Structure 1
Amino acid sequence: MVIESGARPGIILAAVAVVQFMVSLDLSVVNVGLPQIAVGLGFSAVGLTWVIHAYALTFGGLLLLGGKAADRYGRRRVLLLGLSLFGLASLVGGFAQEPGHLVAARAVQGIGAAALAPAALALLTATFPTGRVRVRAFGVWSAMNAAGGALGVLIGGLLTEYASWRWVMFVNVPMAACALAMVRRVAAGPPPVRGGRPDVLGAVLATAGMTLLVFGVVRTEQYAWTSPITVTTLAVAAALLAAFVHVERTTAREPLIRLGLFANRSVAGANAYNLLAGAAIASAFYFVSLYLQRVLGIGPALTGIEFLPFALGVVAGSVLAVKLGYRLAPRTLLVIGGLLTATGLAWLGLISPDGAFATDVLGPSIVTSIGFGLCLGPVVSIATTGVAPRETGTASGLLNSSRQIGASLGLAALGTVAHDRTGQAVTPEALNDGYALGLTVSAALLVAAVLIAFTVLRRTSPPSRAEQSDDRDSLLVRD
């Protein structure tokens, strides 16, 4: 295995692990604290959802620009910039005094994450390009990704109940500082490939289009799908996204994403899979958290603790994916993991208003989490397979983007589905029916993802014995 010149593999792996844990944590750490945030800052019921959407949409919408910037200006430089911006926005958000302050801080966090996430993943891909060590490196990445998302609910619950909701923002600051210190120790590496100027207009069109799309779906709670307001909003969103595609084809600048990249079946299939999986899991987190608190009447701290089995299950699934990755093809792992995840989500769809954590949540959450953990590393590895080195940042940004956009769209769409089932009732029985429907639809999304893995992704083989032998030697590399 060839390691990128100037790299320090141990420090790079540690830094990327911290970065991914922090980014993933920030997607879920605020969920349990939302009721307290609403009371503390005076959010309306609709406005509160933008604490999540402001982060997810700027993150997902600007990830392609972040990936392109990493390729053009250097992964280490963009990673340092993103970490600084993310840490500063977290600090400012913790001191927010009005709803607009927090939403703005969350949006800036998303901008910082859009810079640092693809740069970190591209750095990892370049440092561990093939074989057994690549499987292990992406196993570590996926474990930290999973742990951040799952432990975010636990950490958010504990901080909200025993400190203040403000600490769900402050908690990012020391992690960003730690990652900055490690990245500064990494050599700059080879000079980036210079191209044209990045397509900022494309980034603006993509982000605006996705924001309007989510806004239109969320507002269907107030305005019917056939109302002039909803139809107009969705039509403008579609026009902006169509304009984005046109700009990418015709711009004289460096395209935000080369549309020919989707001719690579690995890239197209992995991103479609990731989009659906992101939609399903983000929605499941949301529904289970609300079920525990609003239906079963459990407090935020205990709710966070009860997500711990899920966190451990995802980490266990990620570790298992590393071991199985030496014997099974990545596509096979995606199919197995997707089917397990779908089974767990369908089981969660059987929740009842007079249920309990031990009988209604524990078993299915373990099945779901192990299945999800099996998917994380392989989907990242597939998404960067066959991609030219100059486009690894773009491919990494695209994969992160598909997950975040999927999470935001899934939460908007499935939240609307659940609200339609619940109606105006706020009884535990009515809420339970809505959450159960949302979880069942989440399972259907995973089944669709598995079908994509079967039909789009090519059959590949696990690392050969020769690659594994070479990688054993590479493990002796010291920082």
Structure 2
Amino acid sequence: MVLQSKKAAEMTGRQRLTVFLLLGAGFMLSVDFSILNVALPQLGAGVGLELSALPWVVTAFALPAAGFTLLFGRIADLFGRRRMFLIGIGLLAVSSVLGGFATNPAMLLTARVLQGLATAIATPAALSLLVTSFNDEKLRARVLGLNGALMSGGFTVGALVGGTLVGMLSWRSAFLINVPVAVLIVVATPFVVRPGSTARGVKLDVPGAVTVTLGLLAFVFGVINRNPFALVGGLALLVVFWLIERRTEAPLAAVGILSRPTVKWGNVAGLIVFSMEPGAIYLMTLYLQDVLHFAPMTTGLVFGVPGLASVVAGILAGRFIGRYGSRKVLAVGMLVQTACTAPLVLLGTGNGWLAVLIPALFLGFFGHVTAIVSFLVTATAGLPDSEQGLATGLATLTQQIGITIGVPILAAVAATQSGLLSGIHLALAVNVLVTVTAVAFIWTGLRPRPSATSDSSDSGGTSADDLVAA
């Protein structure tokens, strides 16, 4: 029995190559999200984009990345995950060339829209291909751990690489660096990644696709631009989408999947994790540059060193889940993240506060990535392969929405105060309160059901009760 267990947990050579390629693609996509942030002033000057319009460089990417994720996650189920993955990476290469050679704002913003669309196509397809490549739950959790580490680390690396490229070359290099990597992935994928199964005899739910895409676009637009009309309109369209999905014979999102505690509460956890931590990082960027007056490159290094904890957490998180269960690891990861945010509410104006900030970032990143891995394992566990595209599409959608709305929400809270530092303190306090409250609900929602045949989720090991019914 022991020998069988060890053998089941070993990767084949093809699985290793698949993991390397898909994780590399996911890392590139996460880097792409943040690589231009530090280059916005130079980029705007290069194409003649007004200072007031610079936020649209970020928004043009975020809107399609969030708005089309669920749609393309389902399309990947129906028409082939590997095919959609290749289309997404190919589109990323084309859009990066367009951005790299942009000479006016229209070309630049078009490139960013296409990059966001490429992310919406490729990310859920890559994640579902990754999940369905492994039947062993412990091995799957380990791979998702690496995915979480690289995904989280990609945001930090994006800022560092962006600053370096802009300083040494130009803002155009931040676009063009994607091209050779994307071409290599497109060439290698057919030889490495199996195409996977597709759902047959099922038609795409067009009314559902239209309402959910427009609803998400309007909702995210409303949050980013603090537009109440877009926000209400987006929510109304999402309600219409929900009603359509309850009645259609071939739903885009089978709402019954949300009756699973793992899918529902796993995605709630993901939304909190991906909104609160990037929001806190944004606030600390303001603190380092506008309060302590550090240079952008120095700020990147302050985040880069603690960011190494992301890699360590990604390696260990899968093992933690195998030993203690996803419910416990998810809750502890989120609590560590918020416990390390709490002392930042006391930050002052002297450089000596770095002695508090850097260790808090290090431990906070560890908890953050651990929570990401647990969220992915929880939200995709126990589902048949035919629903993995939907589940991973929902998980990716949660990630994109969280990243998109976290910064503007906490920035809006900070803006209610007259002073920058007092605003940062208030926003961080809200961050802590929201996360702690969410953990209480998630812990209760993921408790083992009375019908469970085993309580092993609260003892050592990963059981079906913990991963599926949890």
Task: Name the TM tier (shorter chain).
Answer: 0.7 to 0.9
Q: How large is the RMSD of aligned CA atoms in angstroms? A: 2.5
Map 1:327-366 → 2, pairs under 5 A: 327-355=323-351, 358-366=354-362
Matching of residue 49 in structure 1 with residue 45 in structure 2: no
**2:15 maps to which of 4, 9, 32:** 9
**What SS is found at the alignment partner of 1:121?**
helix
Residue of structure 1 equivalent to 2:378 = 382
**Structure 1 pair 9/199, CA: closer, same or farther in 2 (3 Å)?**
same
**Structure 1 pair 45/249, CA: closer, same or farther in 2 (3 Å)?**
farther
Matching of residue 237 in structure 1 with residue 234 in structure 2: yes
Matching of residue 137 in structure 1 with residue 133 in structure 2: no
Q: Deviations over 1:333-361 (max 9, x none)?
A: 11111011001122233332334573353
**Structure 1 pair 98/440, CA: closer, same or farther in 2 (3 Å)?**
farther
> What is the distance in 2 between the residues matched to 1:356 and 1:201?
57
Residue of structure 1 equivalent to 2:114 = 108
Asked if the contact 2:41/2:51 (under 8 Å) is kept, the reply is no
Q: Deviations over 1:379-419 (max 9, x none)?
A: 11111112121010110010010111122122222222222
**What SS is found at the alignment partner of 2:416?**
helix
Structure 1-normalised TM-score? 0.86
Matching of residue 435 in structure 1 with residue 424 in structure 2: yes
Identity among equivalent pairs (%): 33
Matching of residue 456 in structure 1 with residue 445 in structure 2: yes
Map 1:22-171 → 2, pairs under 5 A: 22-44=28-50, 46-171=52-177
Map 1:317-328 → 2, pairs under 5 A: 317-328=313-324
How many residues align structurally? 446
**Structure 1 pair 181/351, CA: closer, same or farther in 2 (3 Å)?**
farther
Give how far 1:188 is off. Answer: 4.0
**Structure 1 pair 376/210, CA: closer, same or farther in 2 (3 Å)?**
same
After TM superposition, the structure 1 stretch with the greater mean CA deviation from structure 2, 385-394 or 150-159, is 150-159
**Structure 1 pair 396/190, CA: closer, same or farther in 2 (3 Å)?**
closer
**2:218 maps to which of 187, 212, 217:** 212
Asked if the contact 1:7/1:127 (under 8 Å) is kept, the reply is no
Asked if the contact 1:158/1:304 (under 8 Å) is kept, the reply is no
Give how far 1:312 is off. Answer: 0.3
> What is the distance in 2 between the residues matched to 1:104 and 1:331?
42
Asked if the contact 1:71/1:193 (under 8 Å) is kept, the reply is yes
Asked if the contact 1:348/1:365 (under 8 Å) is kept, the reply is no
Asked if the contact 1:90/1:169 (under 8 Å) is kept, the reply is yes
**Structure 1 pair 68/338, CA: closer, same or farther in 2 (3 Å)?**
same
- Structure 2 segments unaligned to the other structure (5+ residues): 1-6, 449-455, 464-470
**What SS is found at the alignment partner of 1:194?**
coil
> What is the distance in 1 between the residues matched to 2:103 and 2:420?
31
> What is the distance in 2 between the residues matched to 1:392 and 1:304?
36
Residue of structure 1 equivalent to 2:244 = 247
Give how far 1:133 is off. Answer: 1.9
**What SS is found at the alignment partner of 1:307?**
helix
> What is the distance in 1 between the residues matched to 2:242 and 2:317?
36
Asked if the contact 2:289/2:295 (under 8 Å) is kept, the reply is yes
Q: Deviations over 1:217-238 (max 9, x none)?
A: 4444xxxxxxxxx543333222
**Structure 1 pair 191/139, CA: closer, same or farther in 2 (3 Å)?**
closer
Residue of structure 2 equivalent to 1:286 = 282
> What is the distance in 2 between the residues matched to 1:464 and 1:190?
26
Q: Deviations over 1:244-295 (max 9, x none)?
A: 223323345x322111110111000100110111111221232222322232
Q: Deviations over 1:105-131 (max 9, x none)?
A: 222111111111111111111111223
> What is the distance in 2 between the residues matched to 1:378 and 1:281?
16
> What is the distance in 1 between the residues matched to 2:71 and 2:327?
28
After TM superposition, the structure 1 stretch with the greater mean CA deviation from structure 2, 368-377 or 295-304, is 295-304
- Structure 1 segments unaligned to the other structure (5+ residues): 221-229, 423-429, 466-479
**2:306 maps to which of 302, 305, 310:** 310
Letter of the aligned partner of 1:263 in structure 2? S
Asked if the contact 2:266/2:378 (under 8 Å) is kept, the reply is yes
Asked if the contact 1:160/1:300 (under 8 Å) is kept, the reply is no
Structure 2-normalised TM-score? 0.87
**1:199 maps to which of 201, 205, 212:** 205
Asked if the contact 2:324/2:462 (under 8 Å) is kept, the reply is no
Asked if the contact 1:218/1:416 (under 8 Å) is kept, the reply is no
**What SS is found at the alignment partner of 1:420?**
coil
Asked if the contact 2:70/2:390 (under 8 Å) is kept, the reply is yes
Give the structure, 1 or 2, with the largest relative contact order (CA under 8 Å, sep 6 or more): 1
Residue of structure 1 equivalent to 2:466 = none
Matching of residue 367 in structure 1 with residue 363 in structure 2: yes
Residue of structure 1 equivalent to 2:412 = 416
Give how far 1:12 is off. Answer: 1.0
> What is the distance in 2 between the residues matched to 1:210 and 1:79?
22
> What is the distance in 2 between the residues matched to 1:59 and 1:348?
31
Asked if the contact 2:82/2:196 (under 8 Å) is kept, the reply is no
Asked if the contact 2:266/2:375 (under 8 Å) is kept, the reply is yes
**What SS is found at the alignment partner of 2:38?**
coil
> What is the distance in 2 between the residues matched to 1:317 and 1:151?
16
After TM superposition, the structure 1 stretch with the greater mean CA deviation from structure 2, 63-72 or 7-16, is 7-16
Asked if the contact 2:145/2:370 (under 8 Å) is kept, the reply is no
